Amino acid sequence: MAYNAVETITRKRDGHRLDDDQIRWLIDAYVRGDILPEQMSALAMAIYFQGLDDGELATWTSAMIASGDRQDFAGLSRVAVDKHSTGGVGDKITLPLAPLVAACGAAVPQLSGRGLGHTGGTLDKMESIRGWRATLTDDEMRVQLDRLGAVICAAGPGLVPADKLLYALRDVTGTVEAIPLICSSIMSKKIAEGAAGLVLDVKVGSGAFMKTPERARELASRMVGLGQGAGVRTVALLTNMDTPLGLTVGNALEVAESVEVLAGGGPADVVELTLTLAREMVALARLDVDPADVLASGKAMDTWRAMVTAQGGDPDAPLPVSRHTAVICATASGYVTRLDALSVGVASWRLGAGRTRQSDKVQAGAGVTLHAKPGDRVSAGQPIMTLHTDTPDRFADAQAALTDAVTIGPRAPAPTPLVLDRIG
């Protein structure tokens, strides 16, 4: 049957289901350049409003996978398991998690991305380590996974090229938040990576794309369904992103905090989430080991150092430090009852830790150090944040983002759980 772009757009615009062959034709034609970007933009907006049912979404995702190469880790000496976070503020969990799960005996092929806007990117963090390189060949990645069990690197150009085109288009057409398009973007890449198991960390709250538990639960459920339907053992955790993770936001700052966790210290919330996700990944790999014991043994730190070194980095090199700092102090005495993740993320971005366009450069040392979080008692005039940047004219905009970021009250707030739900 012959299809055309306009008929496909109007069919979805009017709330009708797209045929499986129509979807496969559409993705293939778009990658080949036979469908104009403005036509795919119109279809993305139609999907934003009309959605895709589970059958459409499964076909859409498989068509995106078919647009490029697939990895196959079946020949490794370890079971490959992966983790994906939907992005947040201070979310450096991949850095301690990958070597920890590798030290438990699994293979962790962590294909990561760069930050955009207020959410940080794992590759930007790792590139603050002197000499570290993000680009590996498929053979280099397999050798490193077999030998060390962990790799953090950029996805190759052949992995789901349809997603690269669609992601760039969604970013400039107001359709980033469309749940079916988020699902297919994440899961096409994760299924194509070839891991046997996948843990999804779906962030919920002010600093996340999903602001409400209802939206996050829908996203998580649909991604788990896609993964399990493709034969990948998949679970999802909904985790709190109303408050930044840890005490640092910014690339080199977060690397330093991750190394603290691997050394047996670090903030309690970062340690808790690292161990929680590690236990899920180890269970999917069917390994009988407690990640807490492995972390305490120092083996995860050994794996981190070997992983960094294998990719050209120097784990002993000093991390970049910004030339200028500014301190924000508490305006009253009492308890911190709220610390808004989005505000802190935007401030870090404005200081130079993030980018507006993918081509922008980031400052490795820029960001925010937190000296107090919800539940902590503070006194008026006490430092609660330090801002870091190489360009001091950025301080005013960053401070403006933080105007209403902190609430101080007379009583400590009730503790908020870090993990809100588990799906799968």
Q: What is the pLDDT of residues 265-320, one digit of tens each?
A: 999 999 999 999 999 999 999 999 999 999 999 999 999 999 999 999 999 999 99
| Burial class of residue 53, CB neighbours in 10 A (0-12, 13-18, 19+) | exposed
pLDDT score of 1 more than 80: no
Which pLDDT score, from 0 to 100, does residue 7 have? 96
Which pLDDT score, from 0 to 100, does residue 172 have? 82
163 a catalytic residue: yes
Q: What is the pLDDT of residues 145-161, one digit of tens each?
A: 999 999 999 988 899 99
Among 48-52, 155-159, 192-196, the minimum mean pLDDT is found in: 155-159
| Structural tokens at position 96 | 């301690």
Catalytic hit among 92, 142, 189, 373 = 189
112 a catalytic residue: no
Catalytic hit among 11, 78, 83, 84 = 84
pLDDT band at 174 (very low <50, low <70, confident <90, very high): confident
Catalytic hit among 91, 124, 163, 340 = 163
333 a catalytic residue: no
Which pLDDT score, from 0 to 100, does residue 338 have? 98
Which pLDDT score, from 0 to 100, does residue 157 have? 85
Domain range summary for the chain, segments of one domain joined by +: 5-51, 81-310, 324-409
Question: Domain 5-51: which topology?
Answer: 1.20.970
Which pLDDT score, from 0 to 100, does residue 341 have? 97
Catalytic hit among 67, 185, 188, 206 = 185
Q: For the domain with range 81-310, which CATH number is right: 1.10.10.60, 2.30.30.60, 3.40.50.720, 3.40.1030.10?
A: 3.40.1030.10
pLDDT score of 249 more than 70: yes
pLDDT score of 170 more than 90: no
**Residue whose structure tokens are 């602001």:** 211
Homologous superfamily, domain 324-409: Pyrimidine nucleoside phosphorylase-like, C-terminal domain (3.90.1170.30)
189 a catalytic residue: yes
Taking only Cα atoms into account, the Rg of the chain, rounded to an integer number of angstroms, comes to: 22
215 a catalytic residue: no
Average pLDDT over residues 71-100: 94
Q: What is the pLDDT of residues 395-414, one digit of tens each?
A: 999 999 999 999 999 999 99
Q: How confident is the prediction for the chain on average, in pLDDT? A: 95
Which pLDDT score, from 0 to 100, does residue 133 have? 97
